[in-house]
Structure formats: structure tokens, C-alpha cells
Amino acid sequence: MIRTLIWTPIMLVVGVLAALYIVYGHADPCRALAVEQTRRASGSVVSRLVEPLTRASTTQMSSTACAGGLLRSWRDRIVIGAL
């Protein structure tokens, strides 16, 4: 019982970090947000220009703010996909 209470949150955190790394190539939420914003930019030429700008803007943000931005981006993608 105690082992389950200890290991469940640890495994959840490890799972989330592993998923971020697999999808975005980074476990840091700010870098993942920069990659997400770059992918959402239209056109390959535009995304090459946007990536340095998004990385520069996300480096000034806290990890919590980046995680919130990433969650908002996912929510927007789900809402737009549902329409």
C-alpha cells in the first residue's frame, strides 16, 4: 500500500517527462513550448524563422508559465480539431 502511494506519483512524473521527450525532443516545458509554437507556424520557411524567436521568448518564462502555455496550445488544438 505505501509503495503504491510512493511509486504512483513518481511513475506519473517519469511518464510525462518521457512523453515530452519523445514528442518534442526535450523534457523541459519551455523548450517543448518553443517546438510546439514552431510546429504550429505555417510553412517551412516561416517555421525556420520562428524557431529562434520562440526559443528566445520562452527562455524568459518560468517553467510553470511554459507548462501552462503548452497545455493551452494542446487545448486549442483539440478544440479546433473538434470543430
Residue 28: which domain range?
A: 2-82
R_g (Cα) of the chain, nearest Å:
15
C-alpha span between 70 and 37 (Å, rounded): 9
Record the pTM.
0.76
Q: Output b/e per residue, 9-38; b: 16+ Cβ within 10 A.
A: eeeeeeeeeeebeeebeeeebbbbbbbbbb
pLDDT, residue 13, reads 92
Query: Per residue in 6-20, pLDDT tens?
Result: 999 999 999 989 999
Contact 54, 37 (CB under 8 A): yes
Query: Per residue in 20-72, pLDDT tens?
Result: 999 988 889 999 998 888 888 766 666 667 778 888 888 889 999 999 999 99
Q: How many domains does the chain have?
A: 1
